[in-house]
Amino acid sequence: MTELTTTLSARPFRRADRIANIEVSEIVQISESAAAMAAAGQDIISLGTGEPDFPTPDHVCAAATAAMKAGQTRYTPTVGTADLRLAIAAKAGVKPQNVIVSTGAKQVLSNLFLASLNPGDEVISPAPFWTSYRDIVKFSGGRLVEVPCPSEQGFKITPQQLEAAITPATRWLLLNTPSNPSGALYSHGELKALAEVLRAHPNVWIASDEIYEHISYAPFTSVRAVMPDLVDRIVIINGVSKAYSMTGWRIGWAIGPESVIKAMSAVQGQSTSGACSISQAAAVAALTGDQALITSRRAAFEARRDYVVQSINDNPLLDCILPEGAFYLFISCEKTLGKMTPDGTRITDDMAFCAYVLKSAGLALIPGRAFSMPDYFRLSYAYSDAELSNGLSRLRSATDALYGPNGN
């Protein structure tokens, strides 16, 4: 008797519908590609990453070392250590129960929208916006409503635009002040005008990403300070990454109504649980220690901003407005569209422009499409003066080599 053996082929992996068409962000893809090119021996400079070039302050590193030596290496509470929640609450003028600590501000946003969005719920966001907003909302079951905000209005949403975007399905207004990628900073008056609209729509909550709070070159105003009567539907997102040069420590937090914090804790408790104990000890030192470094580093960023803005606006093919916060320029490359590269390739859009600059000049930039505003690109000035000078020289050489319609 012959025994027949049937071999079943494994089915190919199938992505869940909730992450269909979601990939690693274009910022990460371009940064990793540039790093790989440099590792392979190519002469590459990247002005694409949003990461301060300054080191983490010494007293913060010392606090982390002390925490390790003291045995603070165990699991932490899901919502964060008592010391860090207290430090955040004291800074914000709230109770510790209104705070949750997470593994970076990106996880805070994910927790928030996973905890609050149902299929079909809408989140309004002014465009341009940080590239991860759309996908976080999408895999949380919601739909991001993009409101184009051109440079003529400072890349900021107007009350009229907000009113027009609100529908019965609107659950959140997602603001970022100062903004990545544009550096737009909402003034007290601008936030007050938006509040007047929101008061008429009690079902719309406000999420304000204020991670660049301390990198502001004009007076910074938190949404909570302008809208005290709306605090029961406001969530603030912040962290230590940008102001304290602690991107790799992965500490962010949310400040909001206790009901929201509990819902976010339920989500976080089933994913990462509590953030790293050592990183939380370091964050306490950052928030409670000497803040003088914030002032001096902000001044350094402002000087770099002014230098880079002048260089860009001296270029006849590029334009940008003066950002009031963060460490980015959002630069129009519209004048390059239709021009030809030295090898005969036509520049058709911001993606083609950035690809050309990377190939011809060895300079990595982030196309505006990643931020839902084509015909622009983002340049980070969170780099040394030498790197900025070199990068700007390469950019000018690349644009000077273009030829075609309307000139050279």
pLDDT value of residue 2:
52
- Measured CA to CA, the distance from residue 98 to residue 107 in angstroms comes to 17
Nearest to 359 by CA among 388, 319, 401: 401
Q: Indicate the fold that domain 20-49+292-400 takes in CATH.
A: Aspartate Aminotransferase, domain 1 (3.90.1150)
- For the chain, domain boundaries: 20-49+292-400, 59-288
Nearest to 280 by CA among 57, 63, 53: 63
**259: amino acid identity, one letter:** S
Residues in the chain with pLDDT values less than 70: 1-7, 406-408
pLDDT value of residue 364:
96
Q: Indicate the fold that domain 59-288 takes in CATH.
A: Aspartate Aminotransferase; domain 2 (3.40.640)
Q: Prior bond to 128 cis, omega within 30?
A: yes
pLDDT value of residue 28:
83
- Count Cβ atoms below 10 Å from residue 248 Cβ, excluding itself: 10
Task: Enumerate residues 6+ apart whose C-beta is below 8 A from 396.
Answer: 311, 315
**255: amino acid identity, one letter:** I
User: Is the pTM of the predicted complex or chain greater than 0.85?
Assistant: yes
- Measured CA to CA, the distance from residue 190 to residue 161 in angstroms comes to 13
pLDDT value of residue 34:
87
pLDDT value of residue 9:
77
- Measured CA to CA, the distance from residue 48 to residue 357 in angstroms comes to 12
Half-sphere exposure of 220 (CA within 13 A, CB side): 20
pLDDT value of residue 32:
85
Nearest to 235 by CA among 280, 172, 149, 278: 172
What is the per-residue pLDDT across 371-390, written as a single tens digit (0 to 9) for each?
A: 999 999 999 999 999 999 99
For residue 284, is it left (φ>0), alpha (ψ between -120 and 50) or beta?
alpha
Distances (CA, A) of 370 to 34, 118, 142, 375: 16, 25, 19, 11
Token digits for 125? Answer: 């966001």
Rg of the chain in Å (alpha carbons): 23
- Measured CA to CA, the distance from residue 367 to residue 27 in angstroms comes to 9
